[in-house]
Every structure is written in structure tokens, then in C-alpha cells.
């Protein structure tokens, strides 16, 4: 399978199954519309006749020769023979966990998938006791995995920070005896960040996600305090204090764009101007009936906006600056192995979420969906059938993904979104797919330009 596209005066050709990326000229681009394997030695006469309206015959034949050569070397139209890996590498130890440390929040963001913090289940904080059981569960279920990931999530985790500290301390105390290393991460809206918490987070957490949507009017329209006023002024002040002392540890500022700010490249640039260079801004996921929801009719605008954003980022780079826009990051040479790419997030199989009640779900987005509740820490229950169902969920078990050019970059999308918006974890959520593919094209383009630069 191949995929080709035009962007910024370049034609890009992706050979899906080998991961090969090529820059091609217009003749090659058009020729590829007419030919596919198996290839004869000579370009079919009909094709030459058709294309010779626009191109010299000699060039068409030359192009054909190059395509055939790459094909013969197994660099183009390579076979998709990964399904056997999907079928053999199945059940896995659990190596990552999302701890819903607080089902409560001090903001009332309109688009919150957690129903402004409580996941529709009433406001509640996790106790240390439950956190301890979660750590024990993770250690036990992780088998031989050495690195364990634990994400403190909410609601707003800083509302229960003493328990965060206790859990970190407990997990660290067990590292040696169990031969494990914990990597902690936390996602916060920043309202309660103070020097003490900043200190602790910088010491213990390998990644921190700071939520902010961008420009003040954009942020404050959606990310409101309980009183209804905006959160921008306060969180910007906190984040600006936090990031400079973060050192070389990872962080992201991450925002959500909605129908209200389809010109989100301005928000990315705004965040950059504030002094943040690790940035992720992503489309809101919502029922199409919500006024802020992104719908099909917004796609053209969104596609253009990603191109505008690409231009802006490249410009910053030309001027010696640096923005790491999360969705344009891609390593064309050394990304994860093909097997990892077949499944993506690993939710319900390698990754689970735990609520303040000790309920276990496949991931944070499944929390509250009874059908997918996997068990409970207090009751000591865990439904292996659900785990097996997720273990068997990969790009080859999803009909749309099977034939999708983006499958090894997208890995089959988000199972939770598929379930919530497309009715089944195996059904691709078309809107997400469209956006995903556009972002990928931009990302591939950006990396292609980079590689061309370094060659010159």
C-alpha cells in the first residue's frame, strides 16, 4: 500500500508497510495513479499515451523505471505481513496505570469528558489505602516489566496532593525489593500549584501535563472557575513559575481546540510567546450536538489550520527558535517497532485506570462505563475476559484500520472514542481519523524537510 500527498510545493510518497518516505516529482505523482504491481519491464503503452499529454515520453519511461526498481528492491508497494504478529503477541503484563486521585475539580471546563471532574459519579477523593492497593496490584500484575508508569489524574489531582505524596513514597519504598522503577506523571490545571508542590513534582515526576487552551479569551471561554470567571490569569502565572525550574525534565502545556477557535495555530503561537516550547493542542471530543463540538463541516478549515501551523513552526525554526508541537513529532527512522504500532495505547491490556472507589477500568476514558468495568481492588476482582478482549484489539481487528494508510502511525485510534462516538471499540471514529491523517501528513512533511536540510 502506498499513500501520496501534496503539501507546501512538495509531493510526498509513503510506502505504508516499510515506512519508507520519498519525495517525488509531478510525473511520478501522476504516474502512480495509473500503475500498480506486478510491474512489467516496460511502462504500459496506454499509460504512456495518457500521460504524454502532459509529460515527455522519455521522462515517463524513466520514472516508470525508478518505481519498478524500488519495487524490485522491496522498498515500494511492500507486503503487509504484520498480521501474524498481531495474532501471536497477545496478553501482556500490566505496566501502566492511571490513578484517579480526585474525582473532583476546581474548574468547570465546559468540554470536560469527566463531567467537570466527578465522572458523573459524585465528587470523591482517593484514599491512601486505595492508592496503596493500586500500587500493589500494579507491581503484582507487571510480571517481569521493570519500568512501571503511574499517572496521577483526576479531576484535578492537586486537590488531593497529600495522598499523591503518600502514594509516591509508598511506591518508591517498594522499588528495590520488587526490582521495579516507577515513572510518575501528573496532569494538572495548575490552579493549586505552589512552590511546595512544584518542588515535589520536579523531584518525582518524569512528565507533567499542564492544561491551558491558549489565548486568554479562548481559555477563559471554556476553562472557567466555579464562580464562572476565567482561569487564564492564575494558571499562566503558575505555569510560568513552574516551567523554568523544571530543568531538563519533560513537561507539556496542552490545550483543547473547539469550534470556537478553529484558528488554533494562534493559540499554539500564544503559548510559545508565553515561554512554553513543549506544546500540544488537540481537537475536543464531544457529542456533535454540543455547540462547541467539532463537526465534519469544520474539517476543511482545520486542515488548512494545520498547514498554517506547520508554516509558523517552520518559521520559528528558521529564526533559530524551537517549538515542539506534539502532533508533528515523528521519528521516521527510529520510531517504535511495528509490533508496538499494531496496538497503540494498550488500554485494558497493558494499561488500566483506577477510580477513588478502587474500581478498575481499561483506561481513564472508560471510567464510568459499566460494561467495561474490569474489577475492584477492595473486592480483589479482575475480569480477564475484558483484558483478553483488549489484547485482541489491534489494527487488523478493526475493519477501517486494516486498509488505512495511517495505521502504523495511528495504531487504530482511541478505543474509548471509538466506543463512545462510533458505538464499538473496533469502529473507527471518522472525524478523529480525518484529523489524525492530516496531522500525520504535516508531521511527515516536517520530518521530510528536516531530513532534506541535513542532507544538504
By CB under 6 A, the residues from 318 to 337 that bind ligand SF4 are 336-337
CB of 75 to other proteins, least distance (A): 6
Using rule CB under 6 A, residue 365 touches ligand SF4: yes
- Within 10 Å of residue 43's Cβ, how many Cβ atoms? 22
> Please, which residue, 129 or 404, has the CB nearer to other proteins?
404
Dist. CA 347–CA 149, nearest whole Å: 13
Cβ proximity to ligand SF4, 166 vs 427, nearer residue: 427
Nearer to ligand SF4, 100 or 437 (CB): 437
Query: Which residue, 23 or 299, is less far from other proteins as judged by CB?
Result: 23
Q: Which does 202 bind (CB under 5 to 8 A by kind): other proteins, ligand SF4, none?
A: none
Q: In angstroms, what is the minimal distance from the CB of 454 to ligand SF4?
A: 24
Under the criterion CB under 6 A, does residue 412 sit at the interface with ligand SF4?
yes
- Which of residues 80 and 127 has its CB atom nearest to other proteins in the complex? 80
95 binds, among other proteins, ligand SF4, none (CB under 5 to 8 A by kind): other proteins
Decide: is 437 part of the binding site for ligand SF4 (CB under 6 A): yes
**By C-alpha distance, which of 186, 193, 138 is closest to 164?**
186
CB–CB of 415/408 below 8 Å?
no
Asked if 445 contacts 8 with a C-beta cutoff of 8 angstroms, the reply is yes
148 binds ligand SF4 (CB under 6 A): no
| C-beta closer to ligand SF4: residue 111 or 170 | 111
119 binds, among other proteins, ligand SF4, none (CB under 5 to 8 A by kind): none
Task: Residue 17: name the closest of 2, 4, 6, 5 by CA.
Answer: 2
What is the grid cell recorded at 15? 510506502
On the question of a cis peptide bond just before residue 155, with omega within 30 degrees of 0, the verdict is yes
Interface residue with ligand SF4 among 193, 391, 428, 445 (CB under 6 A) is: 428
Look at residue 400 and give the partner it binds from other proteins, ligand SF4, none, a contact being a CB closer than 5 to 8 Å depending on partner kind: ligand SF4
Q: Which of 370, 340, 373, 347 is nearest to 359 (CA)?
A: 373
Q: Check residue 415 for interaction with ligand SF4 (CB under 6 A).
A: yes
For the chain, the first-to-last Cα distance in angstroms comes to 30
242, 210 in Cβ contact below 8 A?
A: yes
The kind and range of the H/E element at 375 are strand 375-376
Of 37-56, binders to ligand SF4 (CB under 6 A) are none
Residue in 99, 401, 442, 443 binding ligand SF4, rule: CB under 6 A: 401
Q: Which one, 41 or 331, has the nearer CB to other proteins?
A: 331
Nearest-angstrom CA–CA distance, 50 and 244: 60
User: Which residue's CB is nearer to other proteins, number 15 or number 305?
Assistant: 15
How far is 329 from 142, CA to CA, in rounded Å? 29
Sequence-distant (6+) residues with CB within 8 A of 416 are: 347, 362, 363, 365, 366, 425
* Residue nearer to other proteins on the CB measure, 59 or 128: 59
The cell 520510531 sits on which residue? 335
What backbone torsions phi and psi does residue 158 show, to the nearest 5 degrees? -70, -15
CA dist 326 and 108 (Å) reads 26
Shortest reach from residue 351's CB to other proteins, in Å:
5
Cell, residue 131: 492508592
The upper half-sphere exposure of residue 85, i.e. CA atoms within 13 Å in the direction of its Cβ, equals 11
Residue 133 phi/psi, 5° resolution? Answer: -60, -35
- Residue 142, contacted partner among other proteins, ligand SF4, none, CB below 5-8 A by kind: none
Q: Is position 345 an interface residue for ligand SF4 (rule: CB under 6 A)?
A: yes
Nearer to ligand SF4, 155 or 230 (CB): 155
Choosing among ligand SF4, other proteins, none, which partner's interface includes residue 350 (Cβ < 5 to 8 Å by kind)?
other proteins
112 binds ligand SF4 (CB under 6 A): no
Q: Name the β-bridge partners of 4.
A: 13
Minimum distance from residue 420 beta carbon to other proteins (Å): 10
- Smallest separation, CB 96 to ligand SF4 (Å): 9
What is the rounded distance in angstroms from the CA atom of residue 398 to the CA atom of residue 418? Answer: 10
Q: By CB under 6 A, is residue 404 in contact with ligand SF4?
A: yes
The item of ligand SF4, other proteins, none sharing an interface with residue 401, based on CB under 5 to 8 Å by kind, is ligand SF4
Q: How far is the CB of 388 from ligand SF4 (least distance, A)?
A: 16
**Cβ proximity to ligand SF4, 268 vs 416, nearer residue:** 416
368 lies in the binding site for ligand SF4 (CB under 6 A): no
Angle between helix axes 232-242 and 195-204 (nearest 10 degrees) is 50
Say how far apart CA 214 and CA 195 lie, in whole Å. 23
Angle in degrees, CA 165, 170, 176, rounded to 5: 130
CA dihedral 159, 160, 165, 171 (to 10 degrees): -130
CB of 421 to ligand SF4, least distance (A): 11
Q: Which residues bind ligand SF4 (CB under 6 A)?
A: 336-337, 339-340, 345, 347, 351, 363, 365, 395, 398, 400-401, 404, 406-407, 410, 412-416, 428, 433, 436-437
Amino acid at each position: 500500500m502506498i499513500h501520496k500527498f501534496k503539501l507546501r510545493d512538495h509531493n510526498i510518497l509513503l510506502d505504508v508497510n516499510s515506512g519508507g518516505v520519498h519525495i517525488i516529482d509531478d510525473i511520478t505523482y501522476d504516474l502512480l495513479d495509473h500503475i500498480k504491481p506486478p510491474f512489467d519491464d516496460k511502462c504500459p503503452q496506454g499509460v504512456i499515451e495518457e500521460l504524454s499529454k502532459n509529460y515527455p515520453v522519455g521522462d515517463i519511461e524513466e520514472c516508470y523505471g525508478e518505481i519498478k526498481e524500488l519495487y524490485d528492491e522491496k522498498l515500494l508497494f511492500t507486503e503487509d505481513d504484520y498480521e501474524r504478529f498481531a495474532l501471536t503477541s497477545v496478553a501482556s503484563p500490566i505496566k501502566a496505570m492511571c490513578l484517579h486521585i480526585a474525582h473532583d475539580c476546581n474548574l468547570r471546563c465546559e468540554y470536560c469528558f469527566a463531567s467537570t471532574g466527578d465522572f458523573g459519579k459524585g465528587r470523591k477523593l482517593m484514599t491512601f489505602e486505595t492508592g496503596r492497593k493500586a500500587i500493589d496490584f500494579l507491581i503484582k500484575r507487571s510480571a517481569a516489566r521493570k519500568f512501571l508508569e503511574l499517572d496521577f489524574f483526576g479531576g484535578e489531582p492537586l486537590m488531593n496532593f497529600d495522598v499523591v505524596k503518600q502514594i509516591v513514597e509508598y511506591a518508591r519504598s517498594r522499588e528495590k525489593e520488587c526490582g521495579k522503577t516507577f515513572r510518575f506523571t501528573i496532569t494538572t490545571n495548575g490552579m493549586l500549584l505552589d512552590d511546595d508542590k512544584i518542588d515535589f513534582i520536579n523531584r518525582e515526576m518524569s512528565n507533567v501535563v499542564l492544561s491551558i487552551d491558549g489565548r486568554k479569551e479562548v481559555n477563559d471561554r471554556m476553562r472557567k472557575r466555579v464562580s464562572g470567571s476565567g482561569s487564564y490569569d492564575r494558571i499562566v502565572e503558575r505555569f510560568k513559575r513552574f516551567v523554568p525550574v523544571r530543568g531538563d525534565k519533560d513537561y507539556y502545556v496542552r490545550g483543547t481546540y473547539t469550534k470556537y477557535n478553529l484558528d488554533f495555530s494562534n493559540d499554539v503561537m500564544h503559548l510559545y510567546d508565553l515561554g512554553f516550547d513543549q506544546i500540544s493542542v488537540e481537537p475536543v471530543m464531544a457529542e456533535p450536538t454540543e455547540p462547541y463540538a467539532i463537526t465534519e463541516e469544520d474539517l476543511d478549515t482545520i486542515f488548512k489550520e494545520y498547514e498554517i501551523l506547520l508554516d509558523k513552526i517552520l518559521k520559528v525554526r528558521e529564526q533559530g527558535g524551537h517549538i515542539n508541537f506534539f502532533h508533528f513529532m515523528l521519528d521516521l527512522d527510529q520510531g517504535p517497532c511495528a509490533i508496538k504500532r499494531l496496538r497503540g495505547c494498550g488500554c485494558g491490556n497493558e494499561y488500566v485506570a483506577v477510580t477513588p472507589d478502587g474500581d478498575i477500568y481499561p483506561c481513564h476514558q472508560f471510567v464510568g462505563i459499566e460494561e467495561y468495568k474490569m474489577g475492584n481492588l477492595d473486592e480483589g476482582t479482575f475480569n480477564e475476559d475484558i483484558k483478553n478482549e483488549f489484547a485482541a484489539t489491534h489494527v487488523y481487528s478493526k475493519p477501517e484500520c486494516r486498509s488505512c494508510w495511517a495505521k502504523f502511525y495511528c495504531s487504530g485510534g482511541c478505543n474509548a472514542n471509538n466506543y463512545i462516538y462510533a458505538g464499538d471499540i473496533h469502529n473507527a471514529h471518522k472525524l478523529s481519523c480525518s484529523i489524525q491523517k492530516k496531522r500525520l501528513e504535516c508531521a511527515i512533511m516536517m520530518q521530510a524537510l528536516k531530513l532534506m536540510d541535513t542532507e544538504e
